[in-house]
Amino acid sequence: MKGKMKRVYLFEEGSAKMRDSLGGKGCNLAEMTNLGLPIPPGFTITCQACNEYNALGKKFPAGLMDDAKAALANVEGKAGKKFGDAGNPLLVSVRSGAPVSMPGMMDTVLNLGLNEKTLQGIIKKTGNERFAYDAYRRFIQMFGDVVLKVEKADFEHILSAKKSERGVKLDTELNAADLRDVAARFKALVEKETGKGFPEEPLEQLELAIHAVFGSWNTPRAVTYRKLNRIPNDLGTAVNVQAMVFGNMGSDSGTGVAFTRNPSTGEKELYGEFLMNAQGEDVVAGIRTPRPISELKKEMPQIYSQFAETAKKLEAHYREMQDLEFTIEKGKLWMLQTRNGKRTAAAAIKIAMDMMKEGVLTKEEALMRVSPEQIDKLLHRQIDPKARPDVVAKGLNASPGAAVGRVYFTADDAAKHGGKGEKVILVSVETTPEDIHGMAASQGILTSRGGMTSHAAVVARGMGIPCVAGCEKLKVDVAKKTATVEGTDAVIHEGDILTIDGGDGRVILGEVPLVDPEMKGEFGELLALADSVSRMHVRANADTPQNAADARKFGAKGIGLCRTERMFNDPARLPIVQEMILAETQEARKAALAKLKPVQKGDFKGILAAMDGLPVIIRLLDPPLHEFLPKLDDLLVEVTTLSLHKGDERVLREKERLLHKVRELSEFNPMLGHRGCRLAIAHPEIYEMQTAAIFEAATELKKEGKNPIAEVMIPLVGNVRELAMLRKLVKKTADGVIAKSGVKLSYMVGTMIEVPRACLTADEIAKEAEFFSFGTNDLTQTTLGFSRDDAEAKFLQLYLKEGILKDNPFEVLDFDGVGKLVEMTVQLGRKARPGIEIGVCGETGGEPRSIDFYHKAGLDYVSCSKYRVPVARLAAAQATIREKLGNVGERKGE
């Protein structure tokens, strides 16, 4: 037989495990009660009752108030007071508390049970008329506001008016008579606004308050918050009813909050503050300055030691740093709340490692206690937390880190001044592949248009340059070399100093002090621990020796993607690249390539040396050739202008020739055009040159006693025959170079998996590929039919807003679509070539939820930009642990 559903639990009937039914607050009060801690008695109405209430059309389920009254009687017994009793009244607090911490719901009503009659009982019992009227006027305001929906401001007006009348400034300067008058005026306000008298009956007050808590679950604000934070709608909220204790009953009373460890640094010390003769809300109001918790030791040594003992007990019990609230009523300590404490990233790491060393946590538990995203913040320069800068505008936090520099509005200017060693901030409407040289020379990038996956954002993150993107209030006039900020009179000129914070999107005029990231001891220890448990390893995407060296410092175990086209884009080399493209014959093309070879070889040598002993996957040329030529639009305007003005005939002819070539190479959909391996099938000499450069570099290093491990990656393969043809070319060239050098060198040839057809025929392709590397950017573009640049500009935001997409698929892998292809590829690939090395080098390779997916799919490694390497190392470890523990979800909030 199914028993009657229990809707009301006394604190002693619950436990921390009943979060789903008692909510976060309720279950912790229950747990503390059962630990024998001094908790004012009370009870909790379950979240399920809230759901019933809403399902019934805002009606209590039958018997709910009877159960509540029974529980209340129990509380009365423990408190030795009676609810509504004129002589010895029990007052209670009523608070909401969902399983997940959720601002947007009704918070708290204190002192419930007060009315004209019980008020007299309080006066009589405390002998403190002012205290009693103060409690009364606070109750009427809170109840009026949160239960009866009377404007809070209207109460504040009355209180201000009273203070003016009395010629005082602070609430504390009002006496008992003043407060009695205020309470009377509050009640009149309520009657005027609601058309009814203020509810005098305590049980009616309680009933109305429960209604209000239940109702607050479905306010628009709460619904929106849940939608944004992906919290299910069917959790419901619990209601906690608890006997009041008062910290404002004299000098032997007080109230405070404390953490069991320092939430900023993670140090193991009680950290918090308290106020004597005060209520909780006084601590928040900031009228009196709270004192550090350590001073309580002098003030009330016994209470302090009881509290410290309790804190220790709770931390040990929960095996987690706790955030505590307490009240001292007439020399007696009461605990009001405990919950897991919020902390900075640095503190999270230190606490996790310390608790592991203390034997409280296993290493797996310690690793699960730090969120990978937190780590990201520790890896970049930041605006000094002590600085109070004037923020003139905010954009998207597109690439983390803060930067200070002089403003330039074009990539050329930025490159020119940056090249001289000047610190530069590139400010632009948006950036294009032609701006790379200017971006690379800048300390930071600020754009007025584009989102988290705009060109500026993606490239900046890849380069590890701070970037604030899509700062829409910024109106940039590149021609005039100025920018203004909408809604302000700020004008930014070329050469002005600007500070930006890519971690939170702040834009600040002038210079603000920055602080360097610190790789503290526990940070390194945590990551080493992560590596020791991870099944996957982490590589970096890096295109320069400097980036390779940095990545290695961040713990990368190799390079998963070295893009060779970024080397082509170097302004010193671009003319040679253009010469190669404009070549009319294969001979002329080969001559230009011969000039490029030594510089590419130099790059490869530097990168391979920096990654000595670790694998470096080098992707041969990928973008369409027109990306290295001037833009068609610009040329059209130039040629039209030159021919109308009858300018220099020779220049015109030259430009026309260039225009002709650009037109010839231009494509309707370059993303799906003549690029990647398709280029090499038309012009094998390009890959030949690149392969020779790679293996000349590697064999020279080998002769120098180093251990270079070069792996050659062919991009955009969709058909095994493409790969077979190019692999043959690469092997012939590489083997020739190696044979000539006389050293021994083994290497792999593999392919990027970035079009759906490669996934669908992965078994065929695996026959020719020694490794696979997912290029999730392009694979997402083709699988979804989204051009990243266009989607970002035209409809991605709308899709996220409308809930069609839950995440930006270029940031978080599209598990249902692209993810299915990833799984299929791994299965087919391993079937055809057991043990084939499979990794990912797209943007999602550094994103924790995606990394968890890649772990489950059976990948060998993920590769990401150097600054994401530590994030990925932790995420990879957590993925392994999660699998081992049978998929433990994210920790629930509180």
- The residue (of 35 and 784) whose beta carbon lies closer to its own copies is 784
What distance in Å separates the CA atoms of residue 165 and residue 662, rounded to the nearest whole number? 80
Rule CB under 8 A: say whether 781 interacts with its own copies: yes
Place of tokens 């405990």: 338
Residue from 380, 455, 537, 683 carrying the catalytic annotation: 455
Nearer to its own copies, 499 or 783 (CB): 783
The least distance separating its own copies from the CB of residue 758, rounded to whole angstroms, comes to: 9
Q: Radius of gyration (Cα) for the chain, nearest Å?
A: 34
Minimum separation from the CB atom of position 418 to its own copies (A): 27
Please state the closest distance from residue 678 (CB atom) to its own copies, in A.
Answer: 5
Q: Which is nearer to its own copies, 6 or 663 (CB)?
A: 663
Q: How far is the CB of 280 from its own copies (least distance, A)?
A: 45
3-state secondary structure (DSSP) of residue 572: coil
CA atoms of 402 and 348, how far apart (whole Å)? 22
DSSP state of 264: T
Which residue of 126, 265, 787, 827 would you call a contact of its own copies, by CB under 8 A?
787
Q: How far is the CB of 477 from its own copies (least distance, A)?
A: 16
Q: What are 645's two structure tokens?
A: 């003005």
Contact 13, 211 (CB under 8 A): no
CA dihedral 527, 532, 534, 540 (to 10 degrees): 50
What's the number of CA atoms in the CB half-sphere (13 Å) around residue 837?
A: 18
Is 626 tagged catalytic? Answer: no
Q: What are phi and psi of 107, to 5 degrees?
A: -95, -75
Minimum CB distance to its own copies smaller for 56 or for 637? 637
Amino acid at 720: V
Closer residue to its own copies in complex, CB, 584/668: 668
Nearest-approach distance from CB 790 to its own copies, in angstroms: 4
Please pick, from the candidates 221, 721, 728, 831, the single residue that binds its own copies as defined by CB under 8 A: 721
841 counts as catalytic: yes
Question: From the CB of 463, what's the least distance to its own copies, in Å?
Answer: 21
Using a 10 angstrom Cβ sphere, with 0-12 exposed, 13-18 middle and 19 or more buried, the burial of residue 201 is exposed
| Cα separation, 463 vs 449, whole angstroms | 19
Q: Is 803 a binder of its own copies (CB under 8 A)?
A: yes
Burial 331-351 (b: 16+ CB within 10 A, else e): eebbbbbbbbbebbbbbbbbb
Asked whether position 331 contacts its own copies by CB under 8 A, the answer is: no
Stretch that binds its own copies, among 16-24, 48-56, 154-162, 776-784 (CB under 8 A): 776-784
Q: Which is nearer to its own copies, 333 or 717 (CB)?
A: 717
551/713 with CB nearer its own copies: 713
DSSP state of 812: S
Cα angle 158, 164, 166 (rounded to 5 degrees) comes to 105
Question: Contact with its own copies (CB under 8 A): which of 230, 420, 645, 744?
Answer: 645
Cα 186 to Cα 158, 162, 197, 370, 839, distances in angstroms: 7, 11, 11, 48, 67
- Per-residue binding string, its own copies, 602-641, x by CB under 8 A, is ------------------------------xx--xx--xx
Binder among 312, 804, 831, 890 for its own copies (CB under 8 A)? 804
Build a one-symbol-per-residue string for 806-845: x at contacts with its own copies by CB under 8 A, - elsewhere. Answer: --------x-xxx-xx------------------------
Q: Is residue 292 near its own copies by the rule CB under 8 A?
A: no
Angle CA 273–276–281, to nearest 5: 70
Cβ of 609: how many Cβ atoms within 10 Å? 18
- Asked if residue 384 binds its own copies (CB under 8 A), the reply is no
Residue 460 tokens, joined: 């900046």
Q: Which of 171, 603, 754, 894 binds its own copies (CB under 8 A)?
A: 754
Apex CA 750: angle with CA 747 and CA 756, to 5°? 170
Contacts to its own copies from residues 664-683, by CB under 8 A: 667-674, 678, 681-682
By CB under 8 A, name the one of 52, 778, 837, 847 that touches its own copies.
778
Contact partners, residue 707, CB within 8 Å, separation at least 6: 612, 613
Q: How far is the CB of 799 from its own copies (least distance, A)?
A: 7
Q: Give the span between the Cα atoms of 575 and 583, in whole angstroms.
A: 12
Task: Give 556 or 755: the residue with its C-beta nearer to its own copies.
Answer: 755
Binding site for its own copies (CB under 8 A): 632-633, 636-637, 640-641, 644-645, 667-674, 678, 681-682, 716, 718-719, 721-722, 725, 754-757, 760-761, 764, 778, 781-787, 789-791, 794-795, 798-799, 802-805, 814, 816-818, 820-821
Residues with catalytic annotation? 455, 841
